[in-house]
């Protein structure tokens, strides 16, 4: 049974429940994020809030954020994927071998052939694990735990643990290096288009609600939301342009990995909120038995979910491998914990049925902000991991308290 209007069919379809309410959990997370930034800004003497650090932070968020969008749906459906970090390492080594062994680094087609191979490899891994979970009936925890160990060691055996570097020059752009940004002009073009899109979305939403006789938010509230988003977009573009390329002192602009993340976030949000596939995922997470009785093929849905997760791991591997300009079997180590933590901190319930893509992305930003801030403060890696573990436990505790309060 649904416990939150944000995952009810009406909300997913853009109906009344969604029209008149503001997601207070997302708002609370935004306030937490602002508090974290202010605290780290003060404790690092302003270094945390410099354009350079925020630029690097955006690159760090991209990899975890891409996978968190898939992990949200995996957890909503009452499953888990512990193998995502190992998949990133294995797929990266496989893609690098395609570039260096099957093709030459100078081959102009090398970057897209290897990228396509990495996406396909991720999809095949997801299909294998999804089939074992959906059709054989092995619990996802067991299958993906086995995948964590299998693919990490398979990555090592694939190239005997050797790091593969350098990689195709065009491929490196996908990682957002010195040349992996779109520059100031195109950043402003994209920013202006994004602001126009926000206002068009708000106006279109109000018009559609009126056409269907749905309740609408006050005009002042809708205008405020659009203004806030516009300010955020303009501020983001300004920050990205404020970071100058070290060699040429030309504004970097928005990194390509961030554009990939934004595209993935918008696509996954559309799938979760508007597409039948997304509605079925939330229905299964709310009550698998009721979903099956309603005619939803839960096994096929589970299989498709893990294929999607595998493709997203392939995409994340492309970004991180291109950014490092190297492929190694250790890439992605412990990344599964960051991805799961991002989803949970973002409000995804481990009991299933509740979660949002936006929350997962915000959770990824909170996680990486904490890690970046602690690094700037000189906190040791073991203590960093201990703090992040405590934050994850606290997020689960808050979710339990929140859910229990809603039942009262």
Same domain? For 250 and 260 the reply is no
Same domain? For 271 and 234 the reply is no
Tokens representing residue 261 in the block: 């993340």
Residue at which a domain ends, from 237, 254, 271: 254
**What's the pLDDT score for residue 10?**
38
Cβ atoms of 388 and 374 closer than 8 Å: no
CATH number of the domain within which 90 lies: 1.10.3470
- For residue 356, the 8-state DSSP code is -
**What's the pLDDT score for residue 22?**
59
**What's the pLDDT score for residue 408?**
57
**What's the pLDDT score for residue 236?**
96
Q: How many CB atoms lie within 10 A of CB 20?
A: 14
One pLDDT digit (tens) per residue for the chain, 408 residues: 333 334 443 333 333 334 445 567 788 889 999 999 999 999 999 999 999 999 999 999 999 999 999 999 999 999 999 999 999 999 999 999 999 988 877 888 889 999 999 999 999 999 999 999 999 999 999 999 999 999 999 999 998 889 999 999 999 999 988 889 999 999 999 999 999 999 999 999 999 888 888 888 888 989 999 999 999 999 999 999 999 988 888 999 999 999 999 999 999 999 999 899 999 999 999 999 999 999 999 999 999 999 999 999 999 999 999 999 999 999 999 899 899 999 999 889 888 888 999 999 999 999 999 999 999 999 998 898 898 888 888 888 887 887 777 665
- Please name the residue that has the structure tokens 């299909």: 127
**What's the pLDDT score for residue 17?**
38
**What's the pLDDT score for residue 269?**
95
| Inside any domain, residue 11 | no
Same domain? For 229 and 157 the reply is no
Total number of domains in the chain: 2
| Inside any domain, residue 6 | no
| Domain coverage including residue 244 | 181-254
What burial letters (b/e) apply to 126-141, b meaning 16+ CB within 10 Å?
A: bbebbbbbbeeeeebe
Same domain? For 388 and 265 the reply is yes
Q: How many CB atoms lie within 10 A of CB 278?
A: 19
**What's the pLDDT score for residue 407?**
67
* Residues written for the chain: 408
Cα–Cα distances in angstroms (integers) from residue 294 to residues 132, 166, 290, 328, in the given order: 24, 53, 6, 46
| Inside any domain, residue 3 | no
Contacts of range 364-368, beta carbons closer than 8 Å, 24 or more positions apart: 364/61, 364/64, 364/65, 364/68, 364/338, 364/339, 365/33, 365/61, 365/65, 366/29, 366/32, 366/33, 366/36, 366/342, 367/64, 367/338, 367/341, 367/342, 367/391, 368/57, 368/60, 368/61, 368/64, 368/338
Residue at which a domain ends, from 223, 239, 254: 254
| Inside any domain, residue 13 | no
- Give the integer Cα–Cα distance in Å for 344 and 180: 31
How far does Cα 31 stand from its chain's mean position?
20
Same domain? For 114 and 85 the reply is yes
| Inside any domain, residue 145 | yes
| Max intra-chain CA distance, the chain | 64
- Give the integer Cα–Cα distance in Å for 54 and 60: 10
- Give the integer Cα–Cα distance in Å for 407 and 326: 50
Same domain? For 53 and 142 the reply is yes
DSSP characters for 241-287?
A: HHSBPTTT--B-BSBHHHHHHHHHHHHHHHHHHHSHHHHHHHHHHH-
Same domain? For 195 and 90 the reply is no
* Rg of the chain, C-alpha, whole Å: 21
Same domain? For 168 and 302 the reply is yes
| Inside any domain, residue 243 | yes
Same domain? For 121 and 234 the reply is no
| Inside any domain, residue 96 | yes
Same domain? For 389 and 366 the reply is yes
Residue at which a domain ends, from 201, 223, 254: 254
| Inside any domain, residue 4 | no
In the three-class reduction of DSSP (H, G, I as helix; E, B as strand; rest coil), residue 164 is classed as strand
Same domain? For 237 and 287 the reply is no
**What's the pLDDT score for residue 195?**
97
Same domain? For 261 and 379 the reply is yes
């Amino acid at each position: 049974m649904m416990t939150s209007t944000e995952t009810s069919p009406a909300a997913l379809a853009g109906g009344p429940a969604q029209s008149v309410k503001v997601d207070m959990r997302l708002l609370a997370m935004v306030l937490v994020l602002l508090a974290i930034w202010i605290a780290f800004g003060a404790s690092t003497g302003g270094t945390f809030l410099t354009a350079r650090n925020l630029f690097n932070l955006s690159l760090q968020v991209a990899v975890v954020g891409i996978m968190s969008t898939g992990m949200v749906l995996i957890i909503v459906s009452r499953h888990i994927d512990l193998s995502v970090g190992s998949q990133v390492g294995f797929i990266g080594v496989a893609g690098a071998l395609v570039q260096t062994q099957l093709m030459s680094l100078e081959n102009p087609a090398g970057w897209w052939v290897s990228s396509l191979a990495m996406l396909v490899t991720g999809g095949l891994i997801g299909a294998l694990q999804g089939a074992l979970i959906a059709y054989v009936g092995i619990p996802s925890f067991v299958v993906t735990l086995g995948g964590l160990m299998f693919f990490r060691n398979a990555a090592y055996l694939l190239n005997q643990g050797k790091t593969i570097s350098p990689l195709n020059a065009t491929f490196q752009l996908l990682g957002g290096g010195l040349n992996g940004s779109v520059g100031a002009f195109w950043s402003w073009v994209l920013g202006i288009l994004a602001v126009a899109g926000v206002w068009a979305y708000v106006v279109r939403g109000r018009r559609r609600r009126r056409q269907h006789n749905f309740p609408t938010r006050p005009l002042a509230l809708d205008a405020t939301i659009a203004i806030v988003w516009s300010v955020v977009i303009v501020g983001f573009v300004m920050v990205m342009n404020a970071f100058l390329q070290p060699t040429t002192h030309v504004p970097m602009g928005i990194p390509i990995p961030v554009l990939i993340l934004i595209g993935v976030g918008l696509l996954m949000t559309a799938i979760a909120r508007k597409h039948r596939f997304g509605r079925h995922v939330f229905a299964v997470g709310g009550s698998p038995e009721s979903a099956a009785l309603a005619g939803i093929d839960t096994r096929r849905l589970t299989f498709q979910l893990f294929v999607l997760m595998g493709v997203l791991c392939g995409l994340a591997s492309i970004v991180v491998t291109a950014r490092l300009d190297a492929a190694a079997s250790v890439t992605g180590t412990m990344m599964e914990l960051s991805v799961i933590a991002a989803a949970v901190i973002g409000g995804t319930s481990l009991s299933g049925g509740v979660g949002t893509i936006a929350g997962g992305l915000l959770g990824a930003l909170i996680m990486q902000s904490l890690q970046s801030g602690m690094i700037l403060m000189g906190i040791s890696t073991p203590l960093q991991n201990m703090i992040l573990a405590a934050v994850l436990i606290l997020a689960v505790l808050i979710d339990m308290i929140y859910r229990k309060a809603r039942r009262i």
